[in-house]
A and B are shown apart, each in its own frame.
Chain A
Amino acid sequence: MTDLAVPPVLRLDDMSVSYRIRGRAVPVLSQVNLSIAKGEVYGLVGESGSGKSTVALAVQRVLPANGRLSGGRALINGRDVGALDRAALLQMRAREVAMVFQDPGRALNPSITIGRQVAEAFEILGASGHEARRRAEEMLTRVRISSPARVMERYPHQLSGGMQQRVVIAMALAKDPSLLILDEPTTGLDATIEAEILDLVDTLRREFGASILFISHNLGAIAGLCDRVGVLYAGRLVEEGPVRDLFAEPRHPYTAGLLRCLPRPGLRKDLAPLDTIPGFPPAPGSITAGCVFAPRCALADETCRTIDPPLVATGAGRVSRCHHHDRVADLPHAEPRAAAGTLAPAGTGAGTPVLELTALSKTYGSAPYAVQALRDVSLRLMPGETLGLVGESGSGKSTLAHALLGLIAPDAGGGMALDGAALAPEVRRRTAEQIKTLQIVFQNPDSALNRSHSVRRLIGRAITRLGGLSGAKREAQVTRLLESVRLTARQLSARPRQLSGGMKQRVAVARAFAGNPRLVVCDEPTSALDVSVQAAILNLLAELQAERQVAYLLISHDLGVVRYLSDWIAVLYLGRLLEVGPAARVLDGPHHPYTEALLSAAPSVSGERTGRIRLTGAIPSGVSPPAGCLFHTRCPRRIGPICDTEEPPFTADAHGHAIRCHLPRGELGRSPAPSMA
């Protein structure tokens, strides 16, 4: 791997970067050293603010105007990027380094066709217009776009997120780069599409032989793809090593903390809270003495607070920046719940359900272009329980949530009932009590909170509107809510921009709980948050549920989150329920072939990606859904003609577990490792 004659494709030599903020130079990266050999895939892990994207920008000399390389060098194929003149820099960008960003929808120019944009990458390399178009089409085929000629004529907004990312990857690979930088390439994509993109990258790396710098906060994705991994915290590389070893046996408390934050199989809200990393990442440049992680570290002692630990070798190819790298396994775990099973009652189905949907359908548009977003969905949810709603984009998850909230009116014929009373389709025809009872926590607290209001006003207003309190009573209630979401009075006068992402989401949760709701719709409540913050929010939701017997309708594409919080799981496909049942039964199986594929697509930190079930073909259009079983066009377990013509029955077993499949239960798939450890 370390052939001395060939320089590494990328080498960072003590690289430091600072941003100038209000006249002060703030260090964002300090003395980062790493190298990526030819053909190697290197993963860079870190939470927001760790400086991981800055690495990508600095390497290509595209730092924002206030950013500056304040020390060290970056070398690409042995040449110092900082010393290149203008022409050489353009050459380097055109031929050697390629980059794929997080949000493919914004990385593509909205007013130019896909064909033009991809062909442009070849024109830079000297291809004539006609030749460039031909090669662009060829490249789109190589990234597995099925009808490239048609896609060439399209504009970015006409493609799905997964297709857009394929196009961006095609543009990046056009130059046959020696270094490909992927910066959070799958964040914001569905689990199955994420898995497809990761598969694609894995295949292409073999075809093209490019070295890859893979930047991500998604530990599972890193585990499945990378050879080596570096962990970045507060601008410093704190640990590095081969990915399997490092994830199996972390030698830095931060790495260990990150891994433990993940809701993994075997953990459930009623058994134990998730481990969290206490405190917050330091503001850049605020820690001047000792280890940057010391303030949040359970192993920290006086040495840690005074002496900055050096990188020490901890094994074959491994280094850790910790004085106590040999004691990481001793880090305390979160206390298990006092008695397992006390936190949430197992659903027995007795009593009045807090939510009952009967034959709910929603059709958008009119024939012949009608799209059925929901087909005949019937669900019930008992107080204090969580129903996890799973499915790809376009499966109808959001439509269901919007119908519940009264934002869209479902088709006539279906029914919604809250606490046994019919729920009107329009919000304005609902009673004040019903509005209080049913609240929502959105995915992105940034856009859900009014930026110009203080926390006091944000929560206070919700209390006035939903709880009808004012004056001193209102103040008391604000304080109580603040405490229950683990915020302190210090945050009362803060405005959203002064809060971290996790704090903002806590404010959003507090607001939803202002009127003592009985049902809260959680729409991807943690997908905009870092893993350590996610763990804290999930714990909070679990505790609030236990205290207040509130029910959750949880929408998430992260099966780990769904597994941790849910008592029941419902799987939607093209607006149709394919499976409903108690969470453990759905996860362990026997389960629907579609559920099985979804489960196998979820990346895990153990790096095992064998046995992944690949769904072929795209999700069918909702305008002309397949006849028979909706899933038969992509089903790996299709039996025969019966699947194409006849919709399978949907009957529940004694546990309330229903599967819409022609296969007998005995032949349906099961999870290799049961979720109930």
Chain B
Amino acid sequence: MSGALGPFLLKRLALSLLTLWLLSVVVFFGCQVLPGDPARAILGPLADPRAVAALNEKLGSDRPPVEIYLSWMGGLITGDMGQSYAYRSPVAPFIGSALVNSLKLAATVFAIVVPLGIGAGVLAALRAGRPIDRLISVAGLSLTVIPEFVSSIALILVFAVLLRWLPLSATWPAGSGPLVQLQHLILPALPLVIVLFGYIARMTRAGMVEALSADYTRTAILKGLPWRTVLSRHVLRNALLPTITVIAAQMGYALGGLVVVESLFRYQGIGSLVLGAARAKDFAMLQAGILTVGAFFVVTTLLADIVTTLLDPRLRTGGRR
């Protein structure tokens, strides 16, 4: 019966590749319509136009866009992300280290927010209508609307300046162990935890309330199962399906959308890398950065689909009766 999973995965994989290719087209031609050309960006506004033309020719940036795109794609497929104009060196190592940093930050965020959000959502649903439910719902909603830069500054003031519990900068001294790194990561992770907590808690609560009032839950109760077993075996599994999708969708955001937090905490993640590249018109870096974030989005969505499919037999076995 799980034989249906193979073709399903292949189809999803093909769709993911198509999405990535479309993204590459959009990113590339989006960069092409930006004003200014690479040589001008490198040489500065006062440089001799002839020097600019010569450099453009040397860089290959005077060729027709389609040709540049094809050679860029060719490079990507063979693992060459191109050369950074700004740093005059291959792009790949920059992307690599920024990605590792971003992943560390995102992992910290989710390690905190997933158990917290799901726990709060489950608790709120179990106490639906009671004060604790109201508290969780209102808190979740109000925290979600606080912009990261506001909460970041408040958190810095409280934890780094006043209480001095946590280091101000997210960047740890070279060669630090994992514990020290974690200490540096907690403070920048918190603003995102605050934003995501409400989403996850509300989604979990909604799924739980639905599953708790479902007929199959009543069936389980009337079987004489202890409440804990009813929850763990019959309620949670069905309740968490929508939450998983939400978490996966937010993962991409946590990786690529952290420009503000990264720059406030002076953290070398992929967000600040992309921002810097856009300012410097460092097209190769910009394109590679965005495409990396996009690839991450696609992968997390695919993972969420797979997990949802594994948990929901109706998707796995089709609508066949």
Contact = CB atoms under 8 A, between A and B. Distances in A.
Interface of A: 60, 62, 65, 90-95, 97-99, 101, 103, 106-113, 120-121, 124, 153, 155, 157-160, 168, 171, 175
A159 B220 CA distance: 20
- Give the interface centre of B219, B226, B233 by most chain A CB atoms within 10 Å: B219
A110 B216 CA distance: 8
A94 B321 contact: no
B319 to A, nearest CB: 7
B312 interface: yes
A109 B216 contact: yes
B57 to A, nearest CB: 57
Contact of B215 (A91, A103, A120): A103
B313 to A, nearest CB: 4
A159 B314 CA distance: 12
A94 B220 contact: no
11 contacts: A62-B218, A91-B224, A95-B224, A107-B219, A108-B219, A109-B216, A153-B1, A155-B313, A157-B314, A157-B319, A171-B219
B18 interface: no
B216 to A, nearest CB: 4
A208 B123 CA distance: 42
A62 B216 CA distance: 13
B223 A110 contact: no
Contact of B234 (A60, A99, A109): A109
B160 to A, nearest CB: 45
B41 interface: no
A106 B223 contact: no
A124 B215 CA distance: 19
Those 3 A-B pairs whose CB atoms lie nearest each other, nearest first: A94-B224, A93-B224, A106-B215
Given A91-B224, A157-B319, A107 B215 contact: yes
A98 B218 CA distance: 12
A101 B219 contact: yes
B306 to A, nearest CB: 15
Contacts of B219: 101, 107-109, 168, 171
B214 A124 contact: no
Contacts of A159: 321
Contacts of B234: 109, 112
B237 interface: yes
B312 A110 contact: yes
Nearest to A153: B1
A60 B221 CA distance: 10
Interface string B288-321: 0000000000000000000000011110010111
Contact of A155 (B214, B221, B238, B317): B317
Contacts of B214: 106
B308 to A, nearest CB: 11
Interface string B110-135: 00000000000000000001000000
Interface string B218-242: 1111111110000001100110000
A171 B215 CA distance: 14
Nearest to A64: B213
Nearest to B226: A90
A135 to B, nearest CB: 14
A294 to B, nearest CB: 36
A244 B314 CA distance: 45
A115 to B, nearest CB: 12
B225 A110 contact: no
Contacts of B223: 93-94, 120-121, 124, 171
Contacts of A60: 222
B222 A98 contact: yes
Contacts of A111: 237-238, 311-314
Contacts of A158: 317, 320-321
Contacts of A153: 1
Contacts of A168: 219
A107 B317 contact: no
B161 to A, nearest CB: 47
A124 B224 contact: yes
A479 to B, nearest CB: 41
A84 to B, nearest CB: 12
Contacts of B225: 90, 94, 120, 124
Contacts of B238: 109-111
A169 B311 CA distance: 26
A93 B220 CA distance: 10
Contacts of A93: 221-224
Given A62-B222, A157-B314, A168-B219, 10 more contacts: A93-B224, A106-B214, A108-B216, A109-B216, A109-B238, A110-B312, A111-B311, A124-B224, A157-B319, A158-B317
Contacts of B237: 111-112
Contacts of B1: 153
B131 to A, nearest CB: 15
B221 A62 contact: yes
Nearest to B216: A109
Contacts of A175: 224
Nearest to A109: B216
Contacts of A120: 223, 225, 233
B126 to A, nearest CB: 12
Contacts of B313: 110-111, 113, 155, 157
A91 B224 CA distance: 7
A160 B321 contact: yes
Contacts of B218: 62, 101, 107
Contacts of A92: 224
A109 B317 contact: no
A65 B311 CA distance: 29
Contact of B321 (A103, A106, A157): A157
Nearest to B128: A65
Nearest to B235: A109
A99 B216 CA distance: 12
Contacts of A109: 216, 219-220, 234, 238
Nearest to A175: B224
- Give the interface centre of A93, A108, A158 by most chain B CB atoms within 10 Å: A158
A205 B38 CA distance: 86
A112 to B, nearest CB: 8
B2 to A, nearest CB: 11
B321 A101 contact: no
Contacts of B221: 62, 93
A65 to B, nearest CB: 8
B271 to A, nearest CB: 37
Contacts of B224: 90-95, 124, 175
A99 B233 CA distance: 20
B217 to A, nearest CB: 8
Contacts of B312: 110-111
- Give the interface centre of B215, B218, B311, B320 by most chain A CB atoms within 10 Å: B215
Interface in B200-223: 214-216, 218-223
A120 B216 CA distance: 13
A110 B314 contact: yes
A113 B216 CA distance: 13
B175 to A, nearest CB: 48
- Give the interface centre of A62, A120, A168 by most chain B CB atoms within 10 Å: A120
A110 B61 CA distance: 57
Contacts of B321: 157-160
Contacts of B314: 110-111, 155, 157
B319 A99 contact: no
B132 to A, nearest CB: 15
A107 B320 contact: no
A97 B223 CA distance: 9
Nearest to B225: A124
B56 to A, nearest CB: 55
Contacts of A160: 321
A106 B214 CA distance: 7
Interface in B84-127: none
